[in-house]
């Protein structure tokens, strides 16, 4: 999970770390002026203008690998510019360094593969139960 990024803004050459930002810190950054202040002020204006729409329409997904994660700019998410940038693929900034928090790999993993003989299955399994190394399915049309 990304905790902070050191990045270079486009098209300028401003370089600075971003991550979760408290309201007090955000106010200090904007008041300090300069390119960093301009960028944070613009992001704050974007957030304030569209906050209601972001809350109502932004998809709630766990894996953030593409797109603009605008919900990370909301106050309840800590105005996290680093997480907002994840997935923008360099369109907003170049990532120079990243601090991450590694997540433990699960002890067990499961994969489910469903195959059908036709493109529109007539019989759908309604339950699949798995145990280590075994799998079984119960057909919804079986007697």
Model pTM score: 0.65
Answer yes or no: is pLDDT of 51 > 70.
yes
Answer yes or no: is pLDDT of 134 > 60.
no
Answer yes or no: is pLDDT of 8 > 90.
no
Closest CA to 42 of 59, 29, 58, 24: 29
The reported pLDDT for the residue numbered 143 is 41
Rounded Cα–Cα distance for residues 55 and 68 (Å): 14
Number of other CB atoms surrounding residue 141 within 10 Å: 9
pLDDT in tens, 106-121: 888 888 777 666 666 5
Number of other CB atoms surrounding residue 19 within 10 Å: 16
Answer yes or no: is pLDDT of 9 > 80.
no
Average pLDDT in the 34-50 region? 92
């Amino acid at each position: 999970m990304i905790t902070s990024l050191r990045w270079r803004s486009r098209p300028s050459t401003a370089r600075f770390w971003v991550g979760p930002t408290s309201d007090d810190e955000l106010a200090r950054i904007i008041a300090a002026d300069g390119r960093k202040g301009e960028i944070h002020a613009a992001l704050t204006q974007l957030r304030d203008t569209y906050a209601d729409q972001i809350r109502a329409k932004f998809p709630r997904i766990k894996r953030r690998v593409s797109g603009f994660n605008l919900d990370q700019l909301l106050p309840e998410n800590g105005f996290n510019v680093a997480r907002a940038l994840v997935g923008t693929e360099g369109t907003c900034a170049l990532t120079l360094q990243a601090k991450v928090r590694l997540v433990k790999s699960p002890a067990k993993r499961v994969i489910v593969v469903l195959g059908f003989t036709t493109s529109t299955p007539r019989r759908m399994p309604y339950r699949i139960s798995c145990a280590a190394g075994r799998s079984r399915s119960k057909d919804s049309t079986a007697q």
